Amino acid sequence: MTQQNPDPEQRIGPRPLERPAVDPSSAAAFGRPAGVTGAFSPHAAARPPLGGLPSAPPTPDALASAFGRTPADTGVRLQRPPGGDAGDEGHLWSEDADPWRDPAAGAVIGPPAVPKDDDEPAAGSAQGTGRLLSLPDVLFGRRVKPIALALLGVVALVIGAAGGLVGWAVARSGDALTSDVTLAQVEPGVQRPVGSVSDIATRVRPAVVSIEVRMEQGGGTGSGVFIDGSGYILTNWHVVTLEGRATPESTITTVFTDGTRAEAKVVGTDPKTDLAVIKVAVTNPTVLQFGDSDKLQVGDPVIAVGSPLGLSDTVTQGIVSALHRPVVAGGENGEAPITYDAIQTDAAINQGNSGGPLVDATGALIGINSAIRSSTGNTGSIGLGFAIPGNDAKRIAETIIRDGQVKHADIGANVKSVSADTAEGAQVVNVADGGAAAAAGIAEGDVIRKVGDRQVRNAAELTVAVREHRPGDTVPVVLARQGRELTIQVTLRSD
């Protein structure tokens, strides 16, 4: 496209220059001096030429010869090009030289002063890293900084731990029966109200001791309970005498719940009721108080404490299974049999519990554990345990502590158990001369059926019924004679 020239008559002239009026004060501050019309001061023309200006003193000859350029007429260059010799007269500036090199410069950038070794590996080659370090060089050759070794060890540990965690996670995820769970736990403590088994056991256990009897040949263990603050302990006759086998040289040792041991002495025994009292020299022992065993009822809860099978400080719980259960034991070697009116309980009682306490729900002593009944071939507890009533044990213990021995009421007749349609009780086999039965007119063949208020159904019940009274007491005795029932008064005598 061709652009046509515009019409000259249509051209627009320059815009008129408007110069505003200058304030006299501004003109005086920023205007040109008087007589100056240009941009430069008229005094600049009067300055001396450049060569006439004062300059620095000339360079010393020593510095000029050392650092200055070599004069052209000497023909000596400060440095030859790489590969050149001293006699080379060629110029430094050539077609092969660096085009940016200043030919007038006094030095040339060249190779290092040490000549290059042809056998040295080239930089960047596979062998340019130098000799490889061995393990002794790394550890003992001081070729690696200790901090580097430490960091290397930390890295190895982190990698190993991460690998172990990964392996553990893989192993756990592979078993569908295992998982990472947190089991719930109950925070509130167990409530132990007053009167609970735990509360009773806490109060009773310190009063119970283990009894160890040693003789030249053999020995035995049992239990006992403190009944007085002077150190008196109530236990079984068969425990302290090993059923009559102990000798005066035998030793009796009591072991308390805290492990303290003390030697004991026999105060007295009652073989007919299987009771004995021993004494130890201790101060302020824990003592159990007697309860009223006559107020017990079948089903009342009871607790037995002792050392069954040598396991000291053992607590078992049960109930009163039966009351007034006559128990007869012993009687070998011409000795009088052990007979007492027992409390039957299902609390677990085993060998070693003998002599230990049977307490009620208040912690009161209501019986002395003495015997168990087992099935054929079984010597352990089957829930048939027997304890001497607390009221009888208290009376006998007081007598032993006071007199050293016990006297029981006696009717003066040998009897046997009978059971028939016409009579059930204890039949008189013979009457002792001068005894209570002979004095009252009891004859051989009579069947005694009642003594005082106590029903007599067998020979054992006659013994316990008579022993409920004291020597010298007169009691009514109901008996059957030749099909007739009659009551006679019998004044009991001492055994």
Q: Is 96 a residue of the active site?
A: no
Helix, strand, coil abundance in the chain, percent, nearest 5: 20, 25, 50
Q: Is 354 a residue of the active site?
A: yes
Among 60, 50, 392, 356, which Cα is nearest to 210's?
356
Q: What is the longest distance spanned by two Cα atoms in the chain? A: 187
> Which one of 210, 223, 270, 274 is the catalytic residue?
274
Q: Which H or E run contains 169?
A: helix 146-173
Q: Is 25 a residue of the active site?
A: no
Q: Give the single-character DSSP code of 289.
A: P
> Which one of 223, 238, 313, 381 is the catalytic residue?
238
CA dihedral defined by 190, 192, 193, 197, rounded to 10 degrees?
Answer: 140
What's CA 283's distance to the chain center, in Å?
35
CA–CA dist 249, 59 (Å, integer): 132
CA–CA dist 236, 352 (Å, integer): 11
| Exposure letters 35-73 (e unless 16+ CB within 10 A, then b) | eeeeeeeeeeeeeeeeeeeeeeeeeeeeeeeeeeeeeee
Phi and psi, residue 260, nearest 5°: -65, 140
Task: Tell me which long-range contacts 308-311 makes (C-beta under 8 A, separation of at least 24).
Answer: 308/348, 308/349, 308/350, 308/351, 308/352, 308/353, 309/350, 309/351, 309/352, 310/221, 310/352, 311/352
Two structure tokens written together for 112: 């290092």
What's CA 332's distance to the chain center, in Å?
53
> Which one of 307, 354, 370, 381 is the catalytic residue?
354
Two structure tokens written together for 363: 């912690």
CA–CA dist 448, 457 (Å, integer): 9
Among 413, 425, 426, which Cα is nearest to 495's?
413
Which sign does the torsion angle of CA 393, 394, 400, 405 carry? negative
Which active-site residues does the annotation give? 238, 274, 354
